[in-house]
Amino acid sequence: MDSIIGCGGVIRYYNGNYMLGFASPAAYGDNTIAITYDVLHDLSLCANLYFMNVIDVGSYFDYHFLNAKEERFCSFALFYIQRDIRDLLNTLNCSFYIILEEGNACAQSIASWGCGFNAMTELSVSNMPFLVKGLSRLDQIGLSYVKH
């Protein structure tokens, strides 16, 4: 049996302050679907909160399909998630940046925590894990750290 993969993300204000996080179980053993679903939920939250200028920072996400002229073969689940991302990008001014996985420790911690949830859960400052609060503060002040 495949293991559950969690997805999670952090939405911050322009000054780095934590605004909202989200976490959920995403897929059984399919990392590509989990990461793509994570981007979809991130962009959906931004659109629902009327944030039109979005910078998406992540790792392991294949951004090239967004500009592809030809459709490529993928699972039907991945196809529909990618289609929904393209639809959202028509309404958002979005930039994508790829960083190393270790550089996004807040989102990584929330995603690990999300494996234990039953559904997508939004996390305000008051209900996010203590570890994520600390990592968020370190990110905000620009201090380097090592998460283990």
Please give the model's pTM, rounded to 2 decimal places.
Answer: 0.78
The answer to the question of residue 33 being in a domain is yes
Print the domain residue range for 11. Answer: 4-141
The answer to the question of residue 74 being in a domain is yes
What pLDDT was estimated at residue 73? 66
- pLDDT tens string 49-69: 898 888 877 766 667 766 665
CATH number at residue 111: 3.30.420.10
Give how many domains the chain has, as a whole number.
Answer: 1
The answer to the question of residue 146 being in a domain is no
Residue 70 burial class via C-beta count within 10 angstroms: exposed 0-12, middle 13-18, buried 19 and up? exposed
The answer to the question of residue 118 being in a domain is yes
- pLDDT tens string 68-127: 656 666 777 788 888 898 899 899 998 877 776 666 777 788 888 888 888 888 888 888
pLDDT band at 1 (very low <50, low <70, confident <90, very high): very low
The answer to the question of residue 137 being in a domain is yes
